[in-house]
Structure 1
Amino acid sequence: MLRSKKRWILPDAYFQSGSFVEYIMKNRGFSIEKLQKFLSRDESQLFSPFTMKGMKKAVSRIVTAIENEERVLIYGDYDADGVTATSILLLTLRSMKALVEFYIPNRFSEGYGLHAEAIEQAHNRGVRLIITVDTGISAIKEVELANDYGIDVIITDHHEPGIEIPNAYAILNHKYALCEYPEQYLAGVGVAVKLASALLFRLPYEYLDIAALGTVADLVPLLGENRIIVSKGLEKINSDPCIGISALIEIAGLKDKPISTGHLGFQLGPRINAGGRLDTAEIAVKLLTTTDPLEAQTLAKTLDEINVRRQELVEQTYQQAEEVLLQGDYLNNNQVIVLADERWNHGVIGIVASRLLERYYRPVLLIALEDEIGKGSARSIENYHMFEVLQECQHLLLKYGGHAMAAGFSIQKTQIAHLQDACNELANQRLKREDYIQTSSIDILLNIPEVAKRQDEIPSIENLAPFGIGHSQPKCMISGAILQQIQWLGKDKQHVKITVGNQREKLDAIGFHWRNRVDDFINHCLSMQIRFELIGELTINEWNGNRNTQLVLHDCSVSPIQFLRDKEHIDQLKGFLEKYDFRVEVISIEDIELEQLANTCSKIYNEHTYAHPLIYDTVYLVISNSSGKTNELLAQYYEVPEREQFAIVYKVIKQNKGTILYETLRQQLEEVGISERSCRTILHVFQELSFISINHEQIEIIESPEKRNLEESKFYSDLLLNYQIYLKHIYH
């Protein structure tokens, strides 16, 4: 079945004129002045590192340690963010002739954060200063222990602080309540770059390739300072990368190719992460800090081999989790997925949680059990702040920390069932029905002639790079696309390439790993001339000296409106769509056809008898030989009530003591110029938003309803979407 599972959010108007870049960024809230600043990626936009609370104190203490030849320990974390942050501070302090070493705890024997035993060992080695990176903000007892040993602790972190803050010598964390630093989205490696900048009194260009890798891998928004760090880092990666990253690029098969954020996030980042997930993160730090090309090749090869093992474990764990989810009524009975298993490796459950969230779009907490203790990894969706949820459940946990969308924790096995109940209860309190439907924001609405006409402008979209979290590659919607050709590509024919358009203008679209999604359905669509809405990224494909526009598919759905000229194919098309679980209704423009169709279709309407607002899960077959009459009729069907009309309807019901019969309401609204179609639409939206209840034509206002926007109604959003599709049909 080819139907999108996402809620599409479209721009307010279809594209008509101007440049693609200005139009896209205007819809993202950018003025021309703000856009020019955004495009410059100039380092002058970076804030002074000394704006961050605690920076002067931290720099002074580190300089004193260097001058007095005190031993300094960088205490990091085992993920890519922690590894890259550790590497940058290690290289910076080495360049300043500090007596510096690093330590990263083992994920399996120690776990996340500072540990008493490691601090004791540092004391025994004569360490007088510990600098944490990407960790430490919740280490209350451990910092107190270090203080007792006479060791000063400087915390650099970007995780959410708890209610109590460690008594550290200095804290560098832009999320710390007392810190008024303007940038709120730095990764741990970003905070390390700010500290390195303060120590060197300049931006450490020589380490920005490492910083870019850690920033992208940690999935922080690529806006503000992160955008500049990653932009400058990519420039260095593509011109003069450090020896370790160069070896990593070669082992990943990317040598002599332009490296983008996609390569950092999906190819280099996972290899850096692999060491800490299954072995030791020290391998990755050594790789990023070595000056020996032969050692770099050996270390990169080791990480690559570990990454292959990691991929196998991820797939195995994912299949085991799926088995549990598909048994019985687990998914029906739980809004939040909480699963635990003794077979699971703690190093990979975070990746598996992300995959499960992507498939089921609900919060996921996976727990690897060992000796009655579980180590968990959590991933979340919008409006379900995972760190706050774990705070609410802290009485059930041994330890926790993280962000809004991702977190880690440890828990006793006996408390897991209670955690499941608590997470479900919090989901019931915080999440609405529409929160479980993933949204997809569309930047620009186009038809195929417009794409063909503006092909030369498409490369300019790349000026908006780097793309990533918070600033995604712009997505385009092509409406009313008719299939012309299908090709299956790749070794196992897992990728589909389709050609859409007409005899004059065509557009190629490619869907990677789309075999299971479309399969035989799309082959039937070819013969039936079914129209689609396609969503994807517009790119220029160059092959054998030819340059052609190509759409890289993200999503698609059968168009809710199918225009027909030939009545003989109605039954065939209707039967085919119903086979794939679409509701199908027929709208005939010419009255003379109604009798002929009466015995073939379950529902038939014309402009006089059709009274229901369009529903996006329904496909409407519109039969007409007159495009003018079709447009006139569709304009009525796509009527979207004005906001003032919503207010009037609510006011009329309220004036009738909060309860009214539908027929009475309809008559009163007719007197003020609101049609029955608009009345039905408004009531449907009100009911979905829990503003009213309807029982046997009796309408009642629900007392003290929660304040909500109309756009929170999926029905209303679908209605707006259909209206945009109608406009594209008119202007095609």
Structure 2
Amino acid sequence: MLKAKTRWQLAAYDEILADEIARECGLSPLIARLLVIRGIDSPQRARAFLEPGPELFHPPFLLDGMEESVHRIRQAIERNEPICIYGDYDADGVSSTSLMVHVMRQLGAVFDCYIPNRFTEGYGLHKDALAHLKESGYKLIVTVDTGISAVEQVAFANQLGLDVIVTDHHEPPAVLPEAFAVINPKKPGCPYPFDMLAGVGVAFKLAHALLGEPPLHLADLAALGTIADLVPLVDENRVLARIGLQRLNHTRNIGLQALIRVCGLTDSELTAGHVGFALGPRLNAGGRLETAEAAVKLLTTQDPEEAEQCARILDNLNRERQELVQAITDEAVQMVSEQFPLEENRVLVLAKEGWNVGVVGIVASRLVEMFYRPTIVLGIDREKGTAKGSARSIAGFDMYEALTACKEWLPHYGGHTMAAGMTLPIENLEPLRQQLNRLAAEWLTDEDFVPLTKADVTLDLAEISLDTAEQLEQLAPFGMGNPTPLVLVRDVETSGMRTIGRDDSHLKCSLCKDGGSVDAIGFNWAHVVSEVTPKARFDVLAELSVNEWNGHRKPQLTIRDLAVPHRQVFDWRGCRDKQERWRQLAARHEMLTILFRRESYDELAAGLAAAGQPERLLVVADEAWDGHLPAVPTVVLYDLPKRRYDLTRVLARLEQAERIYCLFGDPDLGAERLSCPGREQFKALYQFLLQVPCVQRIHLDALARRLKLKRDVLDGMLAVFAELEFIRSDEESFRLQPDAAKRPLDDSRYYAEWKEEAELATELLLSSYDSLIHHFQQQVETVTW
């Protein structure tokens, strides 16, 4: 058995609706089923989903505050009043700011942009910045991707005589800022039909209203921020992502062209994945480590040389960011191990001086992946006496709601259900940690701490083809709200399983069933190679895609999770380095070792003692054994049993075992125990004794050679004769007893044990793998293998 990393939940769907959509839209049953699973409830909506175009944009003036905002901005342009675009330093904020820069240029406005420094100012509007902007002659501030929580700051701006238009998409607080206008589709009472736009999506709508038509020439920027901010790719977000990716692949933005080059993607068909894992992180890198200035310059410059320079700066910063993230993650993992054990912390709140607040959000995401706990990671500033950081959550724990319940310790916070940012006094860290853990104890069950993976459909291996993989591409772009379809393939074997990659951390194999096969790859799944048997049968959760190489296209599965639902028996019989193999296993698993021979136990226990290691779970299943075995998933059968009864008793008590390693075999026991001599061999020895009634011990080696026996086999045969009283022995010789009564060999207990032990050893050592499993089944029919 090999357990899956997550809980699998197969999606339910309306079969009648799926059939209707397939019929009305001319779609395959698979695509129709996937559409229904994604909430598509009519053929009309299915067509809109599969063919998203500009006609699907909602009227921008449905956004509350849009009409006033457009009027004020146009008024400022007519009067040549300087306008400041006030943005944010993440990829969404940079994209929003850059989009508005291009729009203001197009409208002929007098403008500039301002993005606060993450380290000296932090997120959002700041009074000092507003005062500086007032002194610089600005009269109108237009925020993008920020401002919805800036009640005090907007009030200060009003006192200065500044008009502030807030455009944002974050969760509104109970009290909204009294700005000139507030545009946020989440704002209470706003009639806009779609409230999940990213910050750049809201900026796009403002541009639409200002220009009188959707600014499709800026859709590449809109796609960047929308995809990078992980908003659901449905409704207008899907339209922006689809149109934006098409434009991104042919972008005229010289900054984006330079960024694509430094990412090594010039010859690639850019997808949402490229934005999320290549372009987006580089746009984020500037704001995380320094300022967002280079990112905004990159996306707005008209100078090719400046574009190349900015792209290289961001690429270098991204490498630095990756190293920094890894270092902080390592420290955070150690902190969890030493100070905040998982069994006592349902929410992790980790803080340390020196941690770069620009990357703690990434670290928090990594820790959620590792520990699956709501996690907050903060950098401490001793001089200011504050801790500043980011939060990431899990399903079932609304982080924004949780932080709101802790607002007495949080002077500044904001965010979403799954992510948030905050600043608080250092002394408030422990009360915050305690309160969040109390909330988690109320809101979450033990099952909530096991990640849930939702599978879309179960496919038989025979259903997986190039045509099927190509059909799935109709659903792209994939992301939040429209995840890449996950298919469940059951009861398959593997062939050609091997590790690949620079550090052999990835898995490559073919999944096989009933003569068919499909290539599969699992990134960071190399450990599976050593944890499964050649005959293991897998259930695999995977993404199906088209793999194109040298002009050849074929389907490929990318493994996301897998399981071996049956017990596995590992055939390590007869390995010569069994102690080393045993030590390697013990280092990886909590492991029960079953020994049938006291001498094997003495050997292992002595080795552990010599190494200064605690005695692991070692059980000697001999006549003195009480029959108790601890429930441990990994079990090692270290040596050969002497009696069938001992083996049967052990197997009957391994119901909880998921993996059984057969490590028995040479050199467990001497040759005399591997094969019991037959009656003809005993007869030959007896006939020799009739001719030579007294055999000196010093001549036993010669006698063994004469009878073509190994010496220890001869010793065993003499022990049988002595037990049957055919001979009498002393310190110097063996002497035949001519008057001894005739008795069958089976009367000898020594012979019966020898015979049973030899037959059992032959069955266990010389059988094939399949025969070994069959033998175990025969021993205990109630055990499920």
Please say if 1:391 is aligned against 2:401.
Answer: no
Write the letter of the residue equivalent to 1:145. Answer: F
Question: Which of these residues, 122, 142, 148, is aligned with residue 131 of structure 1?
Answer: 142
Go from structure 1 to structure 2 and tell me whether the alpha carbon gap of 1:294 and 1:584 turns closer, same or farther (over 3 Å shift).
Answer: closer
Please say if 1:19 is aligned against 2:29.
Answer: yes
Cα pair 2:498 2:529 within 8 Å, conserved: no
**Partners of 1:243 and 1:14 in 2: CA distance:** 47
**Partners of 1:314 and 1:549 in 2: CA distance:** 35
Match of 1:653?
Answer: none
**Partners of 1:344 and 1:596 in 2: CA distance:** 58
Match of 2:576?
Answer: none
Cα pair 2:497 2:529 within 8 Å, conserved: no
Please say if 1:548 is aligned against 2:598.
Answer: no
1:39-54 correspondence to structure 2 within 5 Å: 39-54=50-65
Write the letter of the residue equivalent to 2:447. Answer: E
Match of 1:468?
Answer: 479
Please say if 1:319 is aligned against 2:325.
Answer: no
Write the letter of the residue equivalent to 1:557. Answer: A
Match of 1:373?
Answer: 386
Please say if 1:62 is aligned against 2:73.
Answer: yes
Question: Which of these residues, 215, 219, 234, is aligned with residue 245 of structure 2?
Answer: 234
**Partners of 2:553 and 2:531 in 1: CA distance:** 30
**Partners of 1:144 and 1:136 in 2: CA distance:** 12
Match of 2:672?
Answer: none
RMSD: 3.0
Match of 1:145?
Answer: 156
**Partners of 1:60 and 1:394 in 2: CA distance:** 37
Match of 2:341?
Answer: 330
> Mean alpha-carbon deviation: is it higher for 246-255 or for 5-14?
5-14
Match of 1:75?
Answer: 86
Once the 2 structures are TM-superposed, how far is the Cα of residue 75 of structure 1 from its aligned partner?
0.5
Cα pair 2:466 2:553 within 8 Å, conserved: no
Go from structure 1 to structure 2 and tell me whether the alpha carbon gap of 1:265 and 1:286 turns closer, same or farther (over 3 Å shift).
Answer: same
Once the 2 structures are TM-superposed, how far is the Cα of residue 595 of structure 1 from its aligned partner?
11
Match of 2:265?
Answer: 254
Cα pair 2:285 2:317 within 8 Å, conserved: yes
**Partners of 1:279 and 1:604 in 2: CA distance:** 58
Deviation sequence 1:382-438 (CA, Å, 0-9, x none): 221111111111111121111111111111111100010010011112112222121
Match of 2:232?
Answer: 221
SS at match of 2:531: helix
**Partners of 1:269 and 1:147 in 2: CA distance:** 35
Question: Which of these residues, 517, 520, 523, is aligned with residue 530 of structure 2?
Answer: 520
Match of 1:5?
Answer: 5
SS at match of 1:601: helix
Cα pair 1:20 1:458 within 8 Å, conserved: no
Cα pair 2:53 2:243 within 8 Å, conserved: no
Deviation sequence 1:561-615 (CA, Å, 0-9, x none): 8899x9x9xxxxxx99996997599xxxxxxxx999955622699xxxxxxxxx9
Length-normalised TM-score, structure 1: 0.76
Length-normalised TM-score, structure 2: 0.71
Please say if 1:93 is aligned against 2:104.
Answer: yes
Go from structure 1 to structure 2 and tell me whether the alpha carbon gap of 1:120 and 1:328 turns closer, same or farther (over 3 Å shift).
Answer: closer
Cα pair 1:476 1:538 within 8 Å, conserved: yes
SS at match of 2:258: helix
Go from structure 1 to structure 2 and tell me whether the alpha carbon gap of 1:550 and 1:413 turns closer, same or farther (over 3 Å shift).
Answer: same
Match of 1:533?
Answer: 539
**Partners of 1:545 and 1:291 in 2: CA distance:** 37
Question: Relative contact order, CA 8 A, sep 6+: which one is greater?
Answer: 1
Deviation sequence 1:528-548 (CA, Å, 0-9, x none): x01111111112223344433
1:295-694 correspondence to structure 2 within 5 Å: 295-327=306-338, 330-371=341-382, 372-451=385-464, 454-502=465-513, 504-515=515-526, 517-522=527-532, 525-526=533-534, 529-560=535-566, 598-599=648-649, 601-602=651-652
Go from structure 1 to structure 2 and tell me whether the alpha carbon gap of 1:514 and 1:618 turns closer, same or farther (over 3 Å shift).
Answer: closer
Go from structure 1 to structure 2 and tell me whether the alpha carbon gap of 1:42 and 1:14 turns closer, same or farther (over 3 Å shift).
Answer: closer
**Partners of 1:13 and 1:149 in 2: CA distance:** 57
SS at match of 2:391: strand
Deviation sequence 1:263-306 (CA, Å, 0-9, x none): 00010000000010111101111110011111100100011111
Write the letter of the residue equivalent to 2:539. Answer: E
Write the letter of the residue equivalent to 1:548. Answer: K
Write the letter of the residue equivalent to 2:220. Answer: D
Write the letter of the residue equivalent to 2:458. Answer: L
Once the 2 structures are TM-superposed, how far is the Cα of residue 22 of structure 1 from its aligned partner?
1.3
Instruction: In structure 1, list runs of 5 or more residues that go unmatched.
Output: 569-574, 586-593, 606-614, 621-732
Cα pair 1:531 1:562 within 8 Å, conserved: no
Write the letter of the residue equivalent to 2:7. Answer: R
Cα pair 1:582 1:619 within 8 Å, conserved: no
Match of 2:731?
Answer: none
Deviation sequence 1:628-682 (CA, Å, 0-9, x none): xxxxxxxxxxxxxxxxxxxxxxxxxxxxxxxxxxxxxxxxxxxxxxxxxxxxxxx
Match of 1:589?
Answer: none
> Mean alpha-carbon deviation: is it higher for 322-331 or for 40-49?
322-331
Instruction: In structure 2, list runs of 5 or more residues that go unmatched.
Output: 20-27, 574-584, 593-630, 636-643, 661-785
Deviation sequence 1:342-370 (CA, Å, 0-9, x none): 02010010000000011111100111001
**Partners of 1:187 and 1:140 in 2: CA distance:** 21
Please say if 1:162 is aligned against 2:181.
Answer: no
**Partners of 2:499 and 2:200 in 1: CA distance:** 42
SS at match of 1:142: helix
Go from structure 1 to structure 2 and tell me whether the alpha carbon gap of 1:379 and 1:13 turns closer, same or farther (over 3 Å shift).
Answer: closer
Match of 1:102?
Answer: 113
Write the letter of the residue equivalent to 2:517. Answer: K
SS at match of 1:62: helix
The higher radius of gyration belongs to: 2
**Partners of 1:273 and 1:317 in 2: CA distance:** 18
Match of 1:655?
Answer: none
SS at match of 2:83: strand
Go from structure 1 to structure 2 and tell me whether the alpha carbon gap of 1:76 and 1:546 turns closer, same or farther (over 3 Å shift).
Answer: closer
Write the letter of the residue equivalent to 2:214. Answer: L
Go from structure 1 to structure 2 and tell me whether the alpha carbon gap of 1:328 and 1:418 turns closer, same or farther (over 3 Å shift).
Answer: closer
Match of 2:759?
Answer: none
Once the 2 structures are TM-superposed, how far is the Cα of residue 473 of structure 1 from its aligned partner?
0.5
**Partners of 2:112 and 2:172 in 1: CA distance:** 26
Match of 1:710?
Answer: none
**Partners of 1:196 and 1:246 in 2: CA distance:** 23
SS at match of 2:219: helix
Go from structure 1 to structure 2 and tell me whether the alpha carbon gap of 1:182 and 1:595 turns closer, same or farther (over 3 Å shift).
Answer: farther
Match of 2:38?
Answer: 28
SS at match of 1:550: strand
Cα pair 1:397 1:410 within 8 Å, conserved: yes
Cα pair 1:510 1:552 within 8 Å, conserved: yes
Cα pair 1:22 1:32 within 8 Å, conserved: no
Write the letter of the residue equivalent to 1:533. Answer: D
> Mean alpha-carbon deviation: is it higher for 345-354 or for 432-441?
432-441
Once the 2 structures are TM-superposed, how far is the Cα of residue 502 of structure 1 from its aligned partner?
4.4
**Partners of 2:33 and 2:323 in 1: CA distance:** 43
Question: Which of these residues, 198, 205, 226, is aligned with residue 216 of structure 2?
Answer: 205
Once the 2 structures are TM-superposed, how far is the Cα of residue 170 of structure 1 from its aligned partner?
0.3
Write the letter of the residue equivalent to 1:369. Answer: I
Cα pair 1:362 1:436 within 8 Å, conserved: yes
SS at match of 1:126: coil
Go from structure 1 to structure 2 and tell me whether the alpha carbon gap of 1:85 and 1:482 turns closer, same or farther (over 3 Å shift).
Answer: same
Cα pair 1:14 1:445 within 8 Å, conserved: no
**Partners of 1:583 and 1:345 in 2: CA distance:** 41
Aligned residues: percent identity?
Answer: 42
